[in-house]
Amino acid sequence: MTSQTIKTTDTNTLSQSVATNKVLRNTYTLLSMTLLFSAVTAATSMALNLPHPGLIITLIGYFGLLFATTKFRDSSMGLVCVFALTGFMGYTLGPILSAYMSLPNGGQIVATSMAATSLIFLALSAYVLTSRKDFSFMGGFLMVGILVAFMAGLGAIFFEVAALSLAVSAMFVLLMSGLILYETSNIIHGGETNYIMATVTLFVAIFNLFTSLLHLLGVMGNDD
């Protein structure tokens, strides 16, 4: 191997490292902003006592805005779609939080769920960033698992099966934890080069992780 080849290889490696760090930095910056915006819309929804839009409108709004975000991910319009998506999800979360806050120990349940979600996200992200482990092998399993859990969740809603609903929430806690590992690994190893899509994936993982923990802790709190 000639010195010129070595120099070219080093330059390419450095360029890739710089690009990866840029995606990672932009992702966490946008993720922080969208989480804050979603929290504001959730708080506004609670303050105005807005009703939940319902399952059908929620699914249409979520998948519609997700499609728009994906379509415009390489333009500034993609940022508008990201905030529209995360703001909409915050709005749907508001009525759910209001219902939990009306419980005798609702404040504690919500606070514990938030703390647990933050701890899980930070711990898993830190593990991937420090170990540099590649979790790309989890992609297929996560895709199938999320689809199965989603269909089971719909079944639990339509047939009103409480035990199945709890099982789905437990599945989502594990699946969203895996998704955080997978997407963070995907970013640092160059598998995800679009920070808008990386932000959406991590936001959805955090959102579902929080709501699943909220459900599980809410049921345990009521049992007490």
Chain segment 3-60, per-residue pLDDT in tens: 555 555 545 555 667 778 899 999 999 999 999 999 999 999 999 999 999 999 999 9
Contact (CB, 8 A) for 72 and 81: yes
- pLDDT on residue 138: 95
- Which tokens in the block code for residue 39? 């929290």
Q: How far apart are the C-alpha atoms of 171 and 142, rounded to whole Å?
A: 11
- pLDDT on residue 18: 76
Residues of the chain with pLDDT under 70: 1-16, 222-224
Q: How far apart are the C-alpha atoms of 90 and 211, rounded to whole Å?
A: 11
> Is 34 within a domain?
yes
> Is 6 within a domain?
no
Range of the domain at 186: 16-223
SS3 of residue 51 by DSSP: coil
- pLDDT on residue 4: 54
Contact (CB, 8 A) for 91 and 46: no
- pLDDT on residue 52: 95
- pLDDT on residue 19: 77
> Is 123 within a domain?
yes
Contact (CB, 8 A) for 34 and 203: yes
> Is 11 within a domain?
no
> Is 166 within a domain?
yes
Domain count, the chain: 1
Place of tokens 């959406």: 200
Contact (CB, 8 A) for 201 and 184: no
Name every residue whose Cβ is closer than 8 Å to that of residue 89 and which is 6 or more positions away in sequence: 38, 62, 203, 207
- pLDDT on residue 14: 53
- pLDDT on residue 20: 85
> Is 4 within a domain?
no
Q: Which amino acid, one-letter code, is at 202?
A: L
> Is 144 within a domain?
yes
